[in-house]
Chain A
Amino acid sequence: MTPATDRRTPRWRARLLLAPMVAWLVLFVVAPTAILFVYSFCERDEVGRVVFSFTLENYRRVADPVYLRIFNRSIGYAGLTTLICIGVGYPVAYCIGRAREAWRQRLLLLVMVPFWTSFLIRTYAWITILKQEGLLNGLVHQFAPGAAPFELLYTPTAVVIGLVYAYLPFMILPIYGSVEKLDGALIEAAYDLGAGPLRVFSSVIIPLTLPGIAAGTLLVFVPAVGMFAITDLMGGARVPLIGNVIQNQFLQARDWPFGAALGAVFMGLFAVTYWLMLRLGAREEETAA
């Protein structure tokens, strides 16, 4: 079996190269997830210590209408955020992807520049803009001195603004990746065959960039469901989302097992979304091929 012997050395080398990543995954992904699952079936004592005894009580509590309602609302907020991100991000990604080579890198850099500043500082900047005596109301006052000031901060609108702002780049970058790979010849061919701009867009460009949209949706939707800092800071913590509820179990209620159960259900949700997106991406690539 000469071919096998030939391959053996590189295979070992490949394993050696993979080892750090595997170790990282086991330590920081597999192990914590396992702990989360174990905790979610445990109880806790008066002080908040986790007691290792098997119970389904935590999952029964997750099914409480209170938390189901909050799950639904979180999905609603995240869904709306994702839609707005697609609506705003797609044209941006498309323009960058179709811009001249020299410009692309600069434009992409502009998308990423905000990440050089701390997320919390950027959120506080939004508070300065949206607050009642803030920049936006000051500007409105300049042009329409009589108008009543906007009540924007600490409203659901402010939460959605914050979420869209935080996650927009995660939509732009994957779509840009798809747009950049777009074969111009296919678009020209569509025009040659008599399709109008709308038809070209809906039948050629959208299907070809769907993997990017799917990846972006995943990157925006999943973290947006669990976000808690924006709801607290820009929403005034008036309406709890699931991220706030989970955070509370660990920090205020001293109920780690219940928090773990909420987290486990949340991860289940993530897995389902991921699976759906993968199927969507795969199907589209099949049709495209």
Chain B
Amino acid sequence: MKSSRLLFPALLALVVSVVPAHAGAELNLFGWSEYVPQSVLDGFTKETGIKVNFETYASNEELLSKLVAGGGSYDLVQPSDYAAEVMIRQKLLAPLDPALLPNLKNLAPEFRHRAHDPAGAYTVPYMSGTVGIVVNTEKVKIPVKGYGDVFSAAFKDRIVVLNDTREIVTWALYTLHRPINTITPECLAAARPVVAEWVKLVKVFDSDSPKTALLNGDVDIGIVWSGEAAILWKENKKFQYVIPAEGAHQFIDVLAIPANAKNREAAHKFIDYILRPEVSVLISEAFPYTNPNLAARKLLSPAQLANPASYPPGSPKLETFRDIGKAAADIDRLVTDLKSAR
């Protein structure tokens, strides 16, 4: 889960979609925009002679709607955990052949066999991250540990948060010590007053580039994707990343092969190529999320490993999202209602 960008790139991607002339030498990859470095694609083509047709999307929902509609013919997709869960349940994914993926051994065990794919039969972790707090320590002098500290009157109009209704409700559920993946009318009613207070304090809702408001000095504190926080930290050490004490959302973006893929062999080759430490490290350099590849982590510089947004210290409480089906609409209505009340 990177960010739900604007519609324009999505439309562009639709317009330029390419149908392969000969499926034998080509790999149709459907992935997040700005998540696979061009150098990795070029390196794969150079080594295998397989041309990669790279199409992008900006949200899991976009990927899901395209796959369930039966559109496109992709050999490899890159959903987040909960979207992969839906795809497995809907029989949209093909099982992987571990014999073709010797580099699976490089992965840290805690990123595999999670709730979205308990058997690890369909998905391979690509990158992982969290949603946590970024503090501009030059402006904020008090210690910030959790959501409750961020949403305080002291930071009114100095806060940026993701413009993502499920994220916001999840943080409220964490402060209420409720499960984040069971969305009932009762738990939404409990979250309502909390979120109502919070939205009044927020200055910017931005999922695409929440770091911009922090860099521009328009806000001093935020709840953002860890990748954004890692970039901020690289830019200036005054931006500290904190995993909220109440618990935090962890996302695992995976690689998976659609059931109707034409070139499964090339897809397996690509997955295994990405799992090589020297390739995986290129991804870490371009997009400083948490790399689940232990062998690749050994190649990272001490500075990269010390980035608290990429590799948070300690053992925080992290949970992945599960698919909540139609409850997404209830969450959307709740947050829309509270936001428009001001």
Which A residues are closer than 8 A to B by beta carbons? 44, 46-49, 64, 66-67, 69-70, 73, 120, 127, 131-134, 151, 153-154, 229, 232, 236-240, 245, 247-256, 258
Return 5 A-B CB contacts under 8 Å, by A number.
A133-B216, A153-B218, A237-B163, A249-B329, A250-B61
B328 within 8 A of partner (CB)? yes
Q: Which residues of A contact B7 (CB under 8 A)?
A: 247, 251
Q: B64–A47 contact, CB under 8 A?
A: yes
**Minimum CB distance partner of B4 in chain A:** A251
From the candidates B160, B328, B342, name the one contacting A239 in the complex (CB within 8 A): B342
Shortest CB-to-CB span from B181 to chain A, Å, is 15
**Minimum CB distance partner of A124 in chain B:** B212
From the candidates B59, B69, B326, name the one contacting A252 in the complex (CB within 8 A): B59
In this complex, the interface size class of chain B, counting residues with CB under 8 Å from chain A, is: 35 or more
Q: Which residues of B contact A44 (CB under 8 A)?
A: 326
The stretch of B103-111, B201-209, B269-277, B285-293 in contact with A is B201-209
Q: Which residues of A contact B163 (CB under 8 A)?
A: 232, 237
Q: A132–B328 contact, CB under 8 A?
A: no
Q: A66–B333 contact, CB under 8 A?
A: yes
Q: A252–B328 contact, CB under 8 A?
A: yes
* Contact A240:B218 (CB < 8 A) given known A46-B326, A229-B6: no
| Bound-state Cα–Cα, A250 to B62, Å | 8
Interface residues as binary, B329-342 with A (CB distance below 8 Å gives 1, 0 otherwise): 10111001101101
Using A66-B340, A239-B342 as known contacts, list a sample of 10 further A-B pairs with CB atoms less than 8 Å apart, ordered by residue number in A. A46-B325, A66-B336, A73-B340, A133-B218, A153-B218, A154-B203, A232-B6, A236-B204, A252-B59, A252-B164
Interface residues as binary, B246-276 with A (CB distance below 8 Å gives 1, 0 otherwise): 0000000000000000000000000000000
Shortest CB-to-CB span from A273 to chain B, Å, is 22
B165 within 8 A of partner (CB)? yes
* Contact A70:B340 (CB < 8 A) given known A47-B68, A252-B59: yes
**Minimum CB distance partner of B324 in chain A:** A46
Q: A120–B8 contact, CB under 8 A?
A: yes
Q: Which residues of A contact B185 (CB under 8 A)?
A: none
Q: B205–A48 contact, CB under 8 A?
A: no
**Minimum CB distance partner of B90 in chain A:** A47
| Bound-state Cα–Cα, A240 to B163, Å | 11
From the candidates B164, B206, B326, B328, name the one contacting A236 in the complex (CB within 8 A): B206
* Contact A69:B340 (CB < 8 A) given known A120-B8, A132-B217, A251-B4: yes
**Minimum CB distance partner of B5 in chain A:** A251
Interface residues as binary, B59-88 with A (CB distance below 8 Å gives 1, 0 otherwise): 101101100110000000000000000100
Q: A154–B218 contact, CB under 8 A?
A: yes
From the candidates A133, A237, A245, A254, name the one contacting B65 in the complex (CB within 8 A): A254
Q: Which residues of B contact A49 (CB under 8 A)?
A: 68-69
**Minimum CB distance partner of B332 in chain A:** A253
Name the interface residues of B33-67: CB closer than 8 Å to any CB of A: 58-59, 61-62, 64-65
Interface residues as binary, B150-192 with A (CB distance below 8 Å gives 1, 0 otherwise): 0000000100100111100000000000000000000000000
Shortest CB-to-CB span from B250 to chain A, Å, is 20
| Bound-state Cα–Cα, A251 to B157, Å | 27
| Bound-state Cα–Cα, A49 to B86, Å | 12
| Bound-state Cα–Cα, A256 to B65, Å | 10
Q: A236–B205 contact, CB under 8 A?
A: yes
* Contact A48:B61 (CB < 8 A) given known A132-B218, A238-B204, A253-B328: yes
* Contact A238:B342 (CB < 8 A) given known A46-B325, A48-B61, A252-B165: yes
Shortest CB-to-CB span from A137 to chain B, Å, is 10
Q: Which residues of B contact A73 (CB under 8 A)?
A: 340
Q: B216–A239 contact, CB under 8 A?
A: no
Shortest CB-to-CB span from B192 to chain A, Å, is 13
Q: Which residues of A contact B328 (CB under 8 A)?
A: 252-255
Q: Which residues of A contact B59 (CB under 8 A)?
A: 251-252
* Contact A249:B332 (CB < 8 A) given known A47-B90, A48-B61, A254-B61: yes
| Bound-state Cα–Cα, A132 to B339, Å | 23
